[in-house]
A and B are shown apart, each in its own frame.
Chain A
Amino acid sequence: MRRGLAIPIFIIFSCIIISTAIMMRPFGEPKSTEMDDYIIKNAQNETGANNAVTSVVFDYRGFDTLGEATVLFTAVAGVLLVLRRYIHE
């Protein structure tokens, strides 16, 4: 019963994955490039940073970095909370 269910599911998912791989666009040719072009053209003038990646990470997508910093803070707080009794001994 389980085997009879597993084989069709395996075949269906294999077909989906293989057809996706065949239909994939060539590497480095995205479908819409408006956002990339905007950042490449305006990042230096708007933020003044030569490193466009940093201008995206800290300026255009600042919220993402805030979340990243919060993840780090939460991880450190969790480790210190769990292992607190080893600190003062």
Chain B
Amino acid sequence: MSEPSKIVKTIASIIFPPTMVFGIYVILHGHLTPGGGFQGGAVVASAITLLLVAFGTAEIARRLKESHLSVIESIGALGFISLALLGLTATFFYNFLAGSGFIFGRIPPFGSNPGDMNTAGTLPLMNISVGLKVIAGLFAVVLVLAFVARSKGGGKR
């Protein structure tokens, strides 16, 4: 397989930042707008996959080790479980931050309103940890499959 053309590389470089920003927005605003950790994580992982397709496996693998992805995924999983365990004063998965006045502790007015980032208690934190987990997990799978394609296909990429 030959190297992708300059057009593919340029368009991928242009599209990558907005896709990344959109994915991070979907993760961080999961408690206000449609979306959440899983969906935003898939968007971010697809943005990195775009770079993988455009610039080749070797280029990406030099900057991003597979073991780092495992660490990020473990951080996400442990954060999710420990947030669930911290609510154990009442029940598992108790939302102990909602309405406490602490970080993310405001209660919005009832009914439809524009929303406020500083609400919803543990939900944004859980969204972030699930998002990290999905980004790292999906991209680790894509990266390993790209390695397999490179070694099986016999090409340079």
Closest residue of chain A to B116, judged by CB? A50
Residues of B within 8 A of A (CB): 30-34, 36, 38, 66, 70, 73, 77, 80-81, 84, 92-93, 95, 98-99, 104-108, 110-111, 113, 115, 119-123, 126-127, 130, 133-134, 137-138, 140-141, 144-145, 147-148, 151
Closest residue of chain B to A78, judged by CB? B141
Q: Given that A47-B95, A65-B130, A76-B73 are contacting pairs, would A54 and B31 also be in contact in the complex, using a CB cutoff of 8 Å?
A: yes
- Are A83 and B134 touching (Cβ within 8 A)? no
Count of chain A to chain B residue pairs whose CB atoms are closer than 8 Å in the complex: 119
Closest residue of chain A to B113, judged by CB? A50
- Are A87 and B144 touching (Cβ within 8 A)? yes
- Are A49 and B148 touching (Cβ within 8 A)? no
- Are B126 and A86 touching (Cβ within 8 A)? no
Closest residue of chain A to B31, judged by CB? A49
Closest residue of chain A to B30, judged by CB? A54
A73 part of interface (Cβ distance < 8 Å): yes
- Residues of A contacting B126 in the complex (Cβ-Cβ under 8 angstroms): 58, 65
Q: Given that A55-B120, A72-B134 are contacting pairs, would A63 and B93 also be in contact in the complex, using a CB cutoff of 8 Å?
A: yes
A69 part of interface (Cβ distance < 8 Å): yes
> How far, in Å, is A67 (CB) from chain B's closest CB?
12
- Residues of A contacting B138 in the complex (Cβ-Cβ under 8 angstroms): 76
A87 to B145, CA, bound (A): 9
- Residues of A contacting B111 in the complex (Cβ-Cβ under 8 angstroms): 44
Q: Given that A53-B34, A72-B133 are contacting pairs, would A44 and B151 also be in contact in the complex, using a CB cutoff of 8 Å?
A: no
- Are B95 and A59 touching (Cβ within 8 A)? yes
Interface residues on chain A, size class: 20 to 34
> How far, in Å, is B129 (CB) from chain A's closest CB?
9
Q: Given that A54-B30, A55-B120, A73-B73 are contacting pairs, would A45 and B110 also be in contact in the complex, using a CB cutoff of 8 Å?
A: yes
- Residues of A contacting B77 in the complex (Cβ-Cβ under 8 angstroms): 69, 73
A57 part of interface (Cβ distance < 8 Å): yes
Closest residue of chain A to B107, judged by CB? A48
16 intermolecular pairs with C-beta atoms under 8 Å apart: A48-B104, A48-B119, A49-B121, A49-B123, A50-B32, A50-B119, A51-B30, A51-B31, A51-B33, A55-B31, A59-B93, A62-B93, A63-B92, A68-B38, A79-B141, A87-B147
